[in-house]
Each structure stands twice: as structure tokens, then as C-alpha cells.
Amino acid sequence: MEILYEDNHIIIVNKAPGEIVQGDKTGDEPLVETLKHWIKEKYSKPGNVFCGVVHRLDRPVGGVVVFAKTSKALARMNEMFRDGKVDKTYLALSRNHPPKDSERLTGYIYSVEKNNKSYISSTPRNGAKEAALSYRYLGASDRYHLLEVNLETGRKHQIRVQLSSIGCPVKGDLKYGDKRSNPDGSISLQAHRVRFEHPVSGKLIDVAAPLPADPLWQAFVGIVSENDAKASVSADADGSVAVQNGDI
């Protein structure tokens, strides 16, 4: 478990693909419980330890996850996510070049519980929720293309289904149309960066996860580093946190 940031109120973790954030029917220990044990041991805390789940990532997805260490921080972070005051940036690898170098994708997403899969429609339909994201093409390696994605809404499997809808399924994501699975069961989608005003102090929190060690990701280290630096300069000049919300 890699801790990216910690203070008295929040803790930000680099979730590994395969880990679950909250408990599910598999019975596997969720990341929130692992964190509670870690906090209890590190600070020799007696009794129960508080650690609140602020948002989630799909099991095969890795990257930045924010947890709250106090009830005050949890309530305020929940409000910030709900009100779109958290900027979350994702990176995705695909075998295919997107149809445009940048685009805003919209549609209506609905989920089928039986097969744990989401679907997208271009028109409203019963049970479907409006979904929107924007992507930007960052570059290519010998075999794969790198996209930066920002969510405007947080629907189940949103990035996965919307990228698939334009012919760019995430590498390793068999559920949404990729050709082959990744050896470790992950999909090549990372919650790369998070920016928000601290729920208690108000200072700007800007945390990015390192790219996975997989050579396919490491081929993009230079591109990602340059892009992150430009994003930091742009955000500092603007003096605000971009409006994003939701989970993938």
C-alpha cells in the first residue's frame, strides 16, 4: 500500500489494481479496512479507528483514492464531490487512436446488474442517467495510445463504456471490447491525479500517482510528466479547481 499524502484529516492512497475500496460479496479485505489497521498500528491508537470512504474505483483500476480520517473531513469531502469541487484526472491506454484529438462525449448510461455491465444510449431511455466526459489525446508508443480523461458525471464504468463507444476500449478491458486481458487482471486505466481544496484548512491539495511499473505505461513517463507540469502551471494561474465529480 502506497501512501501519497496524509495529514490529520485525510489520507490519499495509490490503490493497486485488484484491490477493492469497500467490502463486497467476495469477502476480500477492502482497502478501507487495511488502512484502518495501518493507522491503528502506526499511531498506536486504542479502540476503533475512523476511516471514511470518500469515493471508489473499480476493482481492476489503479490510482488515487481519497479517504477521510475524521467525520468532519468525510462530511465535507462528500459535499465537495457532490458539488463538483474535486478535479480528478484519469489516464487510459488503448490499442486504437481516438477519432479526434480531443472531444466531449455525452450520452445516457444504464447498468444491467445481472452481468455487471453498463451500456450507453445516444437518447434518453428509462433508467438511464445522463453522462459526460472529455478526453484529450496525449501521444503514442509503438503499440498503444494514451488518453487523458476528465469526468463531468460519475456513472458506473463510465470511462470504460464511453471510450469503448468511440472505438477505443481500454487495454485489457474485455468487458468493454478489448481483444485481450492483461496478465494481472487489471485494465490499463489509472486515476492519475486529484486536486481540491482541503476540507478543513482550505489549502490546495494536488496529488498525482506515479505511473504503473509496467513497461507499457513507462513508455509514457516523459509525456505524462510534461503534461502534469503544464496542468500545474495552468491551474495555478487560474487560481481555481476545475469542476469534476463522480467515480468510474
pLDDT attached to residue 234: 65
By annotation, the residues acting in catalysis are 58
Strand pairing class (62-68; 189-197): parallel
> What is the mean predicted confidence (pLDDT) over 80-95?
94
Residues 2-238, CATH architecture: 2-Layer Sandwich (3.30)
- For the stretch 92-131, pLDDT in tens is 999 999 999 999 999 999 999 999 999 999 999 999 999 9
Lowest mean pLDDT among 168-177, 206-215, 227-236: 227-236
Domain spans in the chain, listed from the N-terminal domain onward: 2-238
pLDDT band at residue 243 under the 50/70/90 scheme: very low
pLDDT attached to residue 205: 97
Average pLDDT of the chain?
Answer: 93
Does the pLDDT of residue 239 top 80, yes or no?
A: no
State what percent of residues in the chain have pLDDT above 70: 94
Q: Which grid coordinates belong to 38?
A: 495501518
State pTM to two decimals: 0.91
Phi, psi of 236 (to 5 degrees): -65, -40
Q: Which grid coordinates belong to 202?
A: 482550505
> What is the mean predicted confidence (pLDDT) over 197-213?
97
> What is the mean predicted confidence (pLDDT) over 18-40?
93
Helices (H) and strands (E) in the chain, counts: 5, 11
Strand pairing class (145-151; 87-94): antiparallel
